[in-house]
Amino acid sequence: MTVKKISENDFKRLHSIIYQGENPEWKKWDGPYYDDYKFTDYENFLKDKVDFFKSDNVKGIYIDKILVGTVSRYWEDRKTRWIEVGIVIYDSNYWYGGYGSEALKIWTTKTFDDFPELEHIGLTTWSGNISMMKSAEKIGYKLEGRIRKVRYHMNEYFDSMKYGVLREEWESLK
């Protein structure tokens, strides 16, 4: 597995694994955060969405040289050095194989390396995404907060789950 910049040659593949119709399976687990998923054809994807995937804060997850998902990071608050990371494996053929945990491990190390001033990396998910919670815990993230019943998804309330890892904890796991 590698985590690397998404090549322009892979944009067609990226589009096809993200936009698998009106209700792709991966979006059910991505969480109830944004109701912004809308099928987009390839031309509009290139025009409106591809810049996000070209950012230094997004990389592709490649398994056997095949793009299967992405990792990302964003500043919750740059001034206070609060960054969050995320991961999506769009291709369900690669779910439950430990790839998400491995990609998150690589991305966490890269994020600490890219930002030596950081002492903490956060990850937010929801209580319906058991696989994400297990992946985070498996590689050393700790549950730091649980905000109960604030994510309404699929006609049910879920909790927002806040995970994090400190640099010193991460260094000790290497």
pLDDT, one tens digit per residue, over 47-103 is: 888 899 999 999 999 999 999 999 999 999 999 999 999 999 999 999 999 999 999
For range 99-127, the mean pLDDT: 98
Helix extents (H) in 75-166: 99-114, 130-139
Q: Provide the 10 A C-beta neighbour count for residue 67.
A: 22
List CB contacts of 97: < 8 A, sequence separation 6 or more: none
CA distance 138 to 39: 33
Contact of 97 with 65, CB cutoff 8 Å:
no
Question: DSSP state, 78?
Answer: T
User: Is the pTM higher than 0.85?
Assistant: yes
Nearest to residue 58, comparing CAs of 38, 37, 78, 72? 72
Question: For residue 163, which phi and psi values (nearest 5 degrees)?
Answer: -115, 160
Query: What does the pLDDT read at residue 99?
Result: 97
Which range, of 1-10, 20-29, 59-68, averages the lowest pLDDT?
Answer: 20-29
Domains along the chain with CATH numbers: 2-173 (3.40.630.30)
